[in-house]
Structure formats: C-alpha cells, structure tokens
Structure 1
Amino acid sequence: MPSATRELSMRIRPAGAEPPRRAVRVGRRGPGRWAAVLLSVLLLGPVAACREPVVPPGAPTPWPAALARQWQWQWQLTGPLDVTVEADVFLLDPVRTTSAETAALRARHRRLVCQVPVGSYAATDPDADRFPAAVRGAPVAGATGRRWLDVRRWPALAPVLADRFRLCRGKGFGAVALDDADGYLHRPGFPLTFDDQLLFDRRVARLARSLDLSPGLVDDVPQVAALAPDFDFAVNQECVRRRECAKLLPFVDAYKPVFHVEYTGDPATFCVTTVGYGFASMRKDRALDADRTPCPLP
C-alpha cells in the first residue's frame, strides 16, 4: 500500500467505532494539610511495612454479644508497643502506631481501637492549624497543651474529625474511641449544655460509622443512659474510685463491651466488683505504657 494511502486509512475510523480515549488527569480534592500528613505517615513507616501488606478492615469491628463478658484488653499510649500482650482488644494512638504494628496485631487476630480526641486539640497535633480561632477554647485540665473545642460548631469540626478517622482506617483500625467527648462537664470556655454535648457525640458516632469504624464512648458517664444506643462499646477510667460503675450498666444490659481501667487500688478487691458487673477490667499506671494487671475472666 502506498504510504499516503496507508496514512489516510489510519486517520479514518470505521463507522460505529468509538473515538480513541484520551488519558484524563483527575484532580484530587484534598482537605489540605491533614491529607498530606496522613499520606506521609503511611508511606514513611518502617521498612517492615513494605513487607507486610497494609489492608484496612473491610467493615467496622464486630462485638459479638456472646463474647460481651469475655474480652481482655490493653490500653497503651506510651513506650514501645508490645504486640505480644495477651489481650483481645488494643486501644492505641493512631498517629504514633505504625502500619507495621497494626498489621502484626491483626495477624494475631486482635481487635484494634484508635483513640481520637474529638472535643479537644493540641498545638502539636498535625492538623491543629485547621481549627478556626472561633472554635478554640480553654485548656483541658490535667492535659498539658490541650484545649477544648466548641462542639456546637459542627461544620467547622466535621472535616477535621473525618480525616482523623480516615487515618485510623488507613492504619488498619476497625474501631474508634471518642475521647474528650464530655466538655460540658468541665470549663471549656464556651456555654456548652447537656444537649449540646449529646448532639455532638451522636454526630461523631454517625460520622465514624459512615467511615466503617465502630464508635466507642470514653467516659462521659452522666450521658451513658442516653448514648448507649448510639455507641458499640464504652471505655471508662476509675469508675470504682469515683463510685459510678452502676451508671455503665446500659452498655452491659445491651451486651456491649465496657473496657474499664483503674489506676489505684488492689485488683484483687476491685475486680470482684467490675467483673461482677460484666466489665473487661485491669489496673494500669497513668502513663499507659505496656504494663498491665488484668482482672480474671468470670
């Protein structure tokens, strides 16, 4: 075939043929700095992470009712993570925990819960500059560098919290414990009411579920009766010392786990009470390192 004829035939499409497709460059809409931080945390982990496939859970963590009184748990926020602890559930910091560590825990069939502050922020948080000045409140007592957030301003908080939850999912967590979800009990710098807090906590629980995370309530004991239907589990600190363990029974009655910790007292004494209630209990230091003294199972 002459070269001119061959060139012409290459330019003419047969009738009914689809036009050639051009590569389309898709612009990624990111929420800003947090997305970049999230990506860098995932990619800059230890080399071991390259050998372990990082596969997020396919659904929120299940909590079978038949096992409601059979859980053992670990809460570690400081020190080298000990993945060999004999516990079914690990409550961890999603920023400092690596994808390799969560992969090792999931290989041992552990349930992973990330602790996310939803009602507060610290200047050292990678997303701190995303909170407008109008939502920043008073210091959180006993938590150096943390400040309360105005939980009434949901449109300003929701995108930031969603990205915090996405970090959990990207690291392989299947559940999230919502920390500092009780600002109305303190002096947050805003006139927060009981109902303001209820609305916010329910919104955050729904947000977690929309991102395939099982939501858990940290403390906020006065609202447990109202919030138990909205959450899958509870995390409680020192209900024995504070004499308020009975207020957590709406979770137990619904066959939902209550993960409880005491920082003082003899486990041989308080375990009788908390295991009798149906809690998963242990004694730990306030540093929340790897050491723990779990209560025996019933």
Structure 2
Amino acid sequence: MTRLLPLLVTAALTLSACAVAPPTVPAAPTTTQLAQTSPMAAAKKIWRPKPGLTWQIQYAGKLAATQANVVNLDGVETSKAQVTKLHAQGKKVICYFNAGGYENWRADRKKFPKSVLGKPLDGWPGERWLDIRKAKKLLPIMKKRMDQCKAKGFDAVDPDNMDGYQTATGFPLKSKHALTYLKALSKAAHQRGLAIGLKNATDLIGKAKGLVEFAVNEECLEYDECSAYLPLLKAGKAVFHVEYTGSIDDICKQVPAGFATVRKHPQLDAWEQHC
C-alpha cells in the first residue's frame, strides 16, 4: 500500500431423437473472447456500489467471517472457493492487485522488464515503483491479473499505488500519467465485466469520476482529505475508507455521511471495527 501496507455457464439442451437434425450449438467462447465482451454487454453486468455499505479489508491471516457487505481481498492469495462462499453469504468481493508497484514475491515478477522498475517503496521491503508511463509494457501483466480476478469470480478490482506521482519513484511521473494509466486499467476491467476503484490519488477524483465505480481511501482523516470524496458520494458512488489510528467513535464522528468506514490494524489482519 502507498501509505500503510495497504463462467460463463453454458446451458446444455438434451434433444430427443427425431428425423430433424438438431441445431448446431455454438462453441463456448475462449477466455480471450470473454475478456473482449462488447462494452454494452459488459456494462450491464458491472457492479456499481452505492454509498452506505459496510466493508472489510483483509490481506493477512486466515480469512475470517465478517458482517460487512463488501470484502476486499488479495487477488492471488484468495481462492475461487472463498469468493464463492462470500457470494453465497450475499457479499460482493473486491480483488486487490498492485498496479503501480512491483513486488518481488509475486509469481509474475519475471514478466516486468528492468526498464519499468524504479525506487523502492519506502517501508515496504521487496516493492519498487513502476514507470506507469510505459503502459504498453505493464498492461499485458495487469490484464492477466484481472483475468485471474475474473476467473475466481471477483466483482471488482482495486489497483493499488496509483499515486506514485506524489513521491520519489525514480521517474518524472505526473498526475496526467496516472490518469492515462487509470483509463487503460478501467477499460480493461470493464471489458471483463469488473468494477474498478480509484485508490487514494485524490488529485484524480475530478477527472476519474466517470472511469471508476467506487473509491478506496486510506486515512483521509489523518491527511485531511475526506472532503475530496464528496463529488463521488454526490454521484452515488461508494467510498470505502480505512483508518489505522484513533478511536472508532472519534473516526465515525468525523467522516462524511455515506462513507463505508472501517478501523483496521496496519497489517490488515481480520480485526475490524465499523461505524
């Protein structure tokens, strides 16, 4: 995280034998074809969370039961069976992946060319910033990750570290580069029928409002930036918000009405407190 941490079912028809030849059943679409579903068809399936939900975010420890409506989980560490179980409980599930940073423990780490690897993320061993200006090199990797999210049944994606332009990455990144990258990620997510959120990067909210279905924010109270999300709330889009310090009572008194707020340990284990 930038601050803390952070089927298609094919129906089969059984026809009784008769003189008339049965109709030809089209072959099931391939994974690639599924990812290239027409924008109109995919848009109808995309989850669009509204303000007022509750959420849980957990990346460490054994997955625990939660009363939250929405659960944000690591896309690699979470199994399809776990997503299916959460769906059976009536919950929506968000797939986390690192879009703006490299992690040296991921299975696809060798797919990143050295030219896109920047400075280490401060406080996060094994992570390095990515040169998001080189989207042509990064997007094939990120699309594969979204394919994995889709195959496991996730409802949405949460691409992390979109705000590298705010720190020393080793590259001359600007907010316009992050916006261009987000547009490409949004298009790829929507082609797969997945909702997508904006993680932190409050500078992008105005121009990104039409690209995302929700936002994920870390510590907007700590950084005095919660009001930046009011345009999203006004547009009827959920803001999933987490704070790592302070009492839950004080937090809940300060956050804007409509926020989905949770108090968490920095390591993002199962512990949670809600407004």
The normalised TM-score by structure 1 is: 0.76
The CA deviation string for residues 114-142 of structure 1, in whole angstroms up to 9 with x for no partner, is: 11111111111111111111111111112
Aligned counterpart, 1:59: 45
TM-superposed deviation, 1:29: 11
Matching of residues 1-298 of structure 1 within 5 Å: 59-63=45-49, 68-82=50-64, 84-274=65-255, 276-295=256-275
> With CA pairs under 8 Å and 6+ residues apart, which has the higher RCO, 1 or 2?
2
Question: Could you list the runs of 5+ residues in structure 1 that have no partner in the other structure?
Answer: 1-27, 31-57
Give the secondary-structure state (helix, strand or coil) at the position aligned to 2:221: helix
Q: Tell me whether 88-97 or 186-195 shows the greater mean CA deviation.
A: 186-195
The worse-fitting range, judged by mean Cα deviation, of 221-230 and 206-215 is 221-230
C-alpha distance 243-159 of structure 1, shift in aligned 2 (>3 A):
same
**Could you tell me how far apart the structure 2 residues matched to 1:293 and 1:72 are?**
10
**How far apart are 1:273 and its partner, in Å?**
2.0
Deviates more, 1:217-226 or 1:106-115: 217-226
Which protein is bigger by CA-based radius of gyration?
Answer: 1
Shift >6 Å, 4+ stretches: none
Give the root-mean-square deviation of aligned CA atoms. Answer: 1.7
Identity over the aligned pairs, expressed in percent? 35
Q: Over residues 228-277 of structure 1, what are the superposed CA-to-partner deviations in whole Å (9 max), with x where a residue is unaligned? A: 22110000011111111001111101010000111111111120221x43
Q: Which amino acid aligns with 1:93?
A: D
Question: d(CA) in 2 for partners of 1:71 and 1:59?
Answer: 19
Aligned equivalents of 2:238, 2:271: Cα separation in 1: 22
Distance, in Å, in 2 between the alignment partners of 1:194 and 1:172 is: 31
The residue type paired with residue 266 of structure 2 is R
Give the TM-score, by structure 2 length: 0.82
Contact 1:72 1:88 in 2 (8 A): yes
Distance in 2 between the 1:210 and 1:146 partners? 29
Aligned partners of 2:79 and 2:188: how far apart in 1?
24
Displacement, 1:60?
Answer: 2.6
Contact 2:100–2:164, Cα closer than 8 Å, also in 1 = yes
SS of residue paired to 2:196: strand
**1:258–1:280 CA contact under 8 A, matched in 2:** yes
